Structure 1
Amino acid sequence: MNALDRPWVLIAEREVTTKLRDKTFVGSTVVMLLIVIAATILPAVLAGNSGPSKIGVVDESGAKVVQQASTTAGGKGYEVVRLADRSAATKAVTDGDVKAALLPGDDGYVVLGKDHVDSGIESALREAVASVGTAANAAKAGLTPAELHVGTKVQVDLLKPGPLPDVVSQFVNVGLALVFYMTALGFGMMIAQSVVQEKESRVVEILAAAVPIRSLLWGKVLGNTALALGQIVIIAGASLIGLLATDQAAILEVVAPVAGWFVVFFVLGFVALAGLWAVAGSLATRQEDLGSTTLPGQMILMIPFFFSVFAGSSAKTVASFVPIASSMSMPGRMLTEDVPVWQPLVAIALLLAATVLIVRMGARLYERTLLQTGRRLGYREALALERG
């Protein structure tokens, strides 16, 4: 069977090649790629080029504390700068020669800063002072530091542990929902605009004479789905580079198993929405009409997105089973919670059923409205045409 026997393949290839020759589409993809790489790699590069922070000290005990603090500075360490006295330390801090100075105080030490003290430096110095002071006091009492700390350890036991730390899990959850939202919205508008352009230029009449209208619809949906998946792969590749460059490869061990689920939810949700976006384009006769005809599609995307990001745990659980919303909610839940495997399977079954219904309804509306020119049609009118 050749491509002529499958006209939707020709339409899909036409969609892909047209978009790949579109400088705006290629440029936006490149910009997105650069943003993702910069957001993940640039902070690590800047941190790596800055070198260890310099801490001024005026005696040997202060130097010992700073050296101890270096072990808690995330591997970056601190550089000890020997200064003659407090006046020299004050001048070094004021001139910016050192980030801070550690000086003897009435009951321990004083951290001297210019207009503020970096929270990381302050935290590391506090921990180091406590460690060094405890060791000295233990020695005076004839005890080892381990003996002095017997019975003082606190262990955290989580009843419902998530696979990722809270901050990381929330970031990834929002990120997955945002990727689906932005991709579906961006490509959806391109589908609608493409349909209107073909109607305005009368190209659609030529295509409809040579190819079944449903093949036109399937070609657009499948072609843009392939492009959207390609863009997702690019984003994933850029994120992978960023994670490896910033030494966060451990996150991949958690994200990788969910990636396959995300692709399934993405494809089904995108296909359903792509059919609706094509209908939105077929209802319009000019580009100016898209503001009203695409509004339902925008709301179908926007409401579940904000719901999946800002709703409570119970509400997110419910949303993860609602078609379209599940494409944004369920993958995030699988990263942040211990979700039984039956739940994503049920959500996929519901989404698949909804996708089939939406696409079938969209195909019928598309057939009835694509060749309607002269004025914008409403959804109620289009449904009436279908019944007629």
Structure 2
Amino acid sequence: MKTLDKPWVLIAEREITTKLRDKTFIGSTLVMLLIVMVAVILPAILAGKGGPDKIGVIDDAGLKVVQTASVTAGGDGYEATRFSDRPAAEKAVTDGKVKAALLPDADGYVVLGKDRVDSGVEGALREAAAAVGMETNAGKAGLTPAELHAGTKVSLQLLKPGPLPDIVSDFVNIGLALVFYMTALGFGMMIAQSVVQEKESRVVEILAAAVPIRSLLWGKVLGNTVLALTQIVVIAGASLIGLLATDQADILEVVAPVAGWFVVFFVLGFVALAGLWAVAGSLATRQEDLGSTTLPGQMILMIPFFFSVFAGSSAKTVASFVPIASSMSMPGRMLTEDVPVWQPLVAIALLLAATVLIVRMGARLYERTLLQTGRRLGYREALALESK
């Protein structure tokens, strides 16, 4: 009986149970889970599929060069395969048993390939051969390896280091923005469609007679926010399982500190948009009307999404403080840049203020338009009704 004093809770429960029985919703969630699992696991499988590249050698000197190249290459490196003589090494290359062969030549070595040699393999072997040769020659001249390489060390220093490499940074920015965009768009359209279905079937008139109209709105916003956040958590859990299963747990050290911030930005941005999507549904009288009534909501999502993905660094910094756009830009910046704590706090404060204003305006429009069933209303007409 407690929930009867809070009708918006009943509406929220109705939204959740209805969606959980919807085969389309369940199917789309499963598809998203599958895509995430493939995106997380497949790269690791492909990266480790062939193991280290095999390089054929016929003597100890070649073996040492390949071992040196393997250490400097990183990752799986290279694996030296010993053959008895040059013809045997050539046959292995021709048959594809080895990636290439490193054979002694008159003035050093020759890298032998079938029809081509990977530039990375050639470069690594060339550098390793030079390093091993210099150390051998230095020994003959009475120099130690340390003396030979004195004053040649080059180190790397970054003035504005980011927690992730450039390629990963771009992927993360696009990924986080895409998660918010797809979730807000998918659930937003479901909210609008749900409102129109209730209007077409006259169910909304029964609900409005028993429950305050604002409670109908709060219930829809709350129920869909819970569903959207739950879907994100499930997807995050699937990603976590995929990362742990493929020994990529080190990525979590970078992502985990920003996860809480992302949830805050996601919830505030989604709540603001959910109110607008509900209004888009209340302005329509048929499913066919949603194309025009939901267009503003789609533009509010689409423009910041493309801006956060393709804009330059200065523009992204500005976008990370703009409400709604900040839900897509700020979490990505926090993962890829050294962002002072005050910046996300200011962005959250601005987003919270905008969310309150948008929801309050949406609630007033929703009250004025929900029971208008004669024809589709425009936003200007709805604002005029609200002001009466």
Match of 1:6 in 2: 6
Match of 2:128 in 1: 128
Q: Secondary structure at the match of 2:110?
A: strand
Q: How far 1:43 moved relative to its partner?
A: 2.7
Write the mapping of 1:328-343 to structure 2, written as runs, cut at 5 A. Answer: 328-343=328-343
Match of 1:385 in 2: 385
Given that 1:44 and 1:245 are in contact with CA atoms closer than 8 Å, whether structure 2 keeps it comes out as no
Residue type matched to 1:281 in 2? G
Q: Deviations over 1:277-313 (max 9, x none)?
A: 1111111112111111111111101111111121122
For residues 108 and 225 of structure 1, what CA distance do their matches in structure 2 show?
68
Q: How far 1:20 moved relative to its partner?
A: 1.1
Write the mapping of 1:303-318 to structure 2, written as runs, cut at 5 A. Answer: 303-318=303-318
TM-score (structure 1 length as normaliser): 0.94
Write the mapping of 1:1-388 to structure 2, written as runs, cut at 5 A. Answer: 2-105=2-105, 107-388=107-388
Q: Secondary structure at the match of 1:68?
A: helix
Q: Quickly say closer, same or farther: Cα 1:330–1:53, change in 2 above 3 A.
A: same
Q: Secondary structure at the match of 1:71?
A: helix
Q: Secondary structure at the match of 1:101?
A: strand
Q: How far 1:7 moved relative to its partner?
A: 0.8
Q: Secondary structure at the match of 1:110?
A: strand
Residue type matched to 1:251 in 2? I
Residue type matched to 2:117 in 1? V
Q: Quickly say closer, same or farther: Cα 1:313–1:77, change in 2 above 3 A.
A: closer
Identity %: 87
Q: Quickly say closer, same or farther: Cα 1:126–1:33, change in 2 above 3 A.
A: farther
Q: Quickly say closer, same or farther: Cα 1:140–1:240, change in 2 above 3 A.
A: same
Q: Deviations over 1:145-165 (max 9, x none)?
A: 121111111122222222222
For residues 327 and 257 of structure 1, what CA distance do their matches in structure 2 show?
16
| Larger deviation, residues 76-85 vs 270-279 | 76-85
For residues 114 and 192 of structure 1, what CA distance do their matches in structure 2 show?
61
Count residues in correspondence.
388
| Larger deviation, residues 13-22 vs 65-74 | 65-74
For residues 191 and 119 of structure 2, what CA distance do their matches in structure 1 show?
49
Q: Quickly say closer, same or farther: Cα 1:51–1:166, change in 2 above 3 A.
A: closer
Q: Quickly say closer, same or farther: Cα 1:115–1:274, change in 2 above 3 A.
A: farther
For residues 242 and 131 of structure 2, what CA distance do their matches in structure 1 show?
35
Q: Quickly say closer, same or farther: Cα 1:247–1:386, change in 2 above 3 A.
A: same
Q: Quickly say closer, same or farther: Cα 1:49–1:251, change in 2 above 3 A.
A: closer
Q: How far 1:77 moved relative to its partner?
A: 4.4
Gaps of 5+ in 1: none
Q: Quickly say closer, same or farther: Cα 1:143–1:11, change in 2 above 3 A.
A: same
Gaps of 5+ in 2: none
Residue type matched to 1:329 in 2? S
TM-align CA RMSD: 2.0
Q: How far 1:201 moved relative to its partner?
A: 1.7
| Larger deviation, residues 85-94 vs 281-290 | 85-94
